[in-house]
Amino acid sequence: MADRFDGEYAPSPTAWVREAVERFEASGGADALNEPGGAPIIVISNVGVRTGKIRKTPIMRIEEDGTYLGVASNGGLAENPAWVDNIRAHPRVQLQDGPVSRTCVARELDGEERRVCWEHALAVWPTYGDYQRMTDRRIPLFLFEPVD
């Protein structure tokens, strides 16, 4: 399957998302801090499910042994962030961590694997627990695994 990450890029309509991606890319991944809080981020590029255009999303950097966890918290809002539908439809993504970019495949987690990863996410960014308490939805978790 050919990667489709060289298509037309559609910047996010959400200002903070667009600005975080712009800062990250302009610095070659060196400006990788999420505000507020100053925690590191990665940027996921994927194909938009409705537009077919390239979408880019900053997410918290939760990495272990070369795999990354994506927490679809959306700040505790009632609906999933848009990137969830995109990833479910097109799980092959480009992940950039600082200056390193790699192709990954995303897999939504469930069961015991999800429970363990959720605990790890809370250890890295405890605010996820607050977000979960703010919403009735179960926050989706995705594992991004590099393609060899």
With CA atoms as reference, report the closest residue to 135 among 66, 43, 72, 61: 72
At 2 the pLDDT is 46
Determine, yes or no, domain membership for 104.
yes
Determine, yes or no, domain membership for 120.
yes
Summarize pLDDT for 54-85 with one digit per residue, the tens: 999 999 999 988 899 999 999 999 999 999 99
Residue 78: give the domain boundaries: 15-146
The C-alpha atoms of residue 24 and residue 76 are separated, in whole angstroms, by 24
CA dihedral of residues 134, 143, 97, 19 (deg, nearest 10): -40
CATH number at residue 82: 2.30.110.10
Task: Tell me, yes or no, if the pTM score tops 0.75.
Answer: yes
Among the residue ranges 36-50, 57-71, 106-120, 133-147, the one predicted with the least confidence is 36-50
